[in-house]
Amino acid sequence: MADQLAYKPAAGEIPTNPGVYRFLDGDGKVLYVGKAKNLRQRLANYFAPLHTLHERTRRMVTLAEKVEWTVVPTDVDSLQLEYQWIKQFDPPFNVKYRDDKSYPFLAVTLGEEAPRIMVTRNRRIRGAKYFGPYPKVWAVRETIDLMLKVFPVRTCNDAQYKRAMQSGRPCFPGQIGKCGGPCSMTVTLEEHRRMVDDFVAFMQGGDERFTRDLTARMKEAAAALDFEAAAAYRDRLESIDAVLTKSALVLSDKVDLDVFGVAEDELDAAVHVFAIRGGRVRGVWSHIVDKELDISGGELIDQVLQRAYGDAEAAAIPRGVLVPTLPTASAELEQFLAERRGRKVEIQVAQRGQRADLLRNATLNAQQTLVRHKSKRTSDFATRSQALADLQEALGMTEAPLRIECYDISHLQGTNVVGSMVVFEDGLPRKDQYRSFSIAETTDDTDSIHQVLTRRLAHLDDPDDVPVPAAELAVRDEEDIVTEQAPRRRFAYPPQLLLVDGGEPQVNAAARALAEAGRSDIALAGIAKRLEELWLPGDAYPVILPRTSQALYLVQRLRDEAHRFAIRHQRGRRRRDIRSVLSEIPGLGDARIRALLRHFGSVAALRQANAEEIAVVPRIGPGLAETIRTRLARD
């Protein structure tokens, strides 16, 4: 492969103006759309020598056969044009949003003669006003039931409304007091419309006005000795309080804010959003973002916000947007949103206080969403089977790798070196078969991999000793009496595939361990840091798993699980090491050791403390504190 692209523009041909560029393939399909403040400077990054590019970027530019650009007057214009082109062409290398579910909304059909409130997942009802989304349908219905006691707005469907109009009798919600009765003219259409407007105003954050008005009316009715009316106003106030309690007050009542929490790995990102109106959480939703190219956190936030607000109504865009990282073009994006909203919009990163707490909460929810997304792929049998079949084909194996073992090495600045082995069978983790390895002496990661696999392979069965399935362990003797053979230890089962965390050097070390053990029947691959690359022994180039391959997610989960297990072992070992050192000091028992570790929070902090700081811990006197400091200083 040539190290330069044939379609690279000539020097000086690309302008230095702001603009939007498109990469196209041989059929004219748009592969990627991007914007730039300086087109020449930005596109130069794509036409660098191919070996210096990130693998995903290299794949995009080599698939493309042409690059086009359009110059625009301002940076804001480039942002708007980029959004329009992404929406129009749906390029495969721009970020994708994959929602496996649609969220329920509370909709008010303002375009109808007598607007009604309804629960729907359809966002395309003409003239409708939407609130939410809500995490569950029951949450929307519960809100509606409470609000109907304050605003008895129509909830019946069109057929029920027409029948009531023809008969002159209220529909069922009207008969039980949950509707004002516009169909039977109990209230006029104008009066009903005013109730609908009040409901919309309340849901948009105007709850303070309604609470104040109802309280005044209740007091007036009580002063006039009209206790029945006062009781009705009291019940309506209680309903409002119930709704407000469920939408917990998180900020001042003048705050309109969307909080975006983001969690990402090399391939995907999860976005979780809190929509806060009038200081209260009015909507919650999340979605998965598929990252085809390697992009920075700021670029990801930029595209997430474009997607969130590109087609939104002006009223749906808040005064403030809280994000974990400022987008790459934050000033231009603020202007872009301000033009759509008609008023100023601020994009901020919270550092402290309530807003920082909200952002942390949103980020935590995003992390959980990402974990659920990753694990969901392994919960489905068909998906797991496809992943194993894809992996078999990619690695050229004769059979699907039903048992896979993945190895990782972890250390702390060259010390406390440990290895981990995780096992997946039929695409699912077998945690009872995980193993960890302590490595006393090693020169580097490759030597550690060789040591761990040498120790592991020593426990394998002979190649011809095929594992006996559980169903075949029961045998019948001559008298037809069923007996059960002792099951073979699972640690002795040979895997079909060994994965090691690392590239070509780690794979070569693992291949040497397999050759020394005489195991030519076990496939081997290394997982490079980019995750798309699988290095095979003796191959000069890695295997690139397709972006949509189920095998890619299985490999990623194996790598992450091996890394997690190695870190867990290392931390436990460090904790045991420091406890064993402290337990050798006369006068230190378990209670005082726990108090020391709890007070300093970490082993590093305890090692750096002087005698006076250690003596602050309850039941640790000056003499014992000096002994502890001296003992730890020797290690």
Confidence (pTM): 0.55
Average pLDDT over residues 613-623: 84
What is the average pLDDT score of the chain?
78
Average pLDDT over residues 301-305: 87
The domain made up of 380-463+489-570 has a fold known as: Nucleotidyltransferase; domain 5 (3.30.420)
| Most trustworthy range by pLDDT among 98-107, 480-489, 620-629 | 620-629
224-233 b/e (C-beta count within 10 Å ≥ 16 → b): eeeeeebebb
CATH class, range 19-94: alpha beta
Asked whether residue 147 carries a pLDDT value surpassing 50, the answer given is: yes
Contact indicator for 281, 275 with CB cutoff of 8 Å: yes
CATH class, range 257-375: alpha beta
Contact indicator for 195, 151 with CB cutoff of 8 Å: yes
Question: What are the C-alpha distances in Å from 360 to residues 263, 402, 601?
Answer: 11, 39, 22
Q: What 8-state DSSP symbol labels residue 635?
A: -
CA 95-266-331 angle, to 5 degrees, is 50
Q: Where are the domains of the chain?
A: 19-94, 105-204, 257-375, 380-463+489-570, 584-634
What distance lies between CA 143 and its chain's CA centroid? 28
Element (H, E) at 392: helix 381-395
Query: Which tops the pLDDT comparison, 66 or 461?
Result: 66
**How many C-beta atoms lie closer than 10 Å to residue 272's C-beta?**
23
Least confident of 57-71, 77-91, 304-318: 304-318
Residue 251 corresponds to which tokens in the numbers above? 């900020």
Report helix, strand and coil shares of the chain as percent, to nearest 5.
45, 20, 35
Query: Which tops the pLDDT comparison, 559 or 145?
Result: 559
Taking only the tens place, the pLDDT of each residue in 221-239 is: 888 887 777 887 777 676 6
User: Which amino acid is located at 393 in the chain?
Assistant: E
**509/483 Cα distance (integer angstroms):** 44
Question: Do 380-463+489-570 and 257-375 have the same topology in CATH?
Answer: yes
As a CATH number, domain 584-634 is: 1.10.150.20
- pLDDT class for 173, splitting at 50, 70, 90? low
Question: What are the C-alpha distances in Å from 276 to residues 151, 257, 271, 318, 561?
Answer: 22, 5, 16, 9, 36
Average pLDDT over residues 234-261: 68
Taking only the tens place, the pLDDT of each residue in 521-542 is: 899 999 876 556 788 988 877 8
User: Edge to edge, what strands does the sheet with 346-348 contain?
Assistant: 96-98, 280-290, 268-277, 257-264, 320-322, 346-348
* Residues making up the chain, counted from first to last: 635
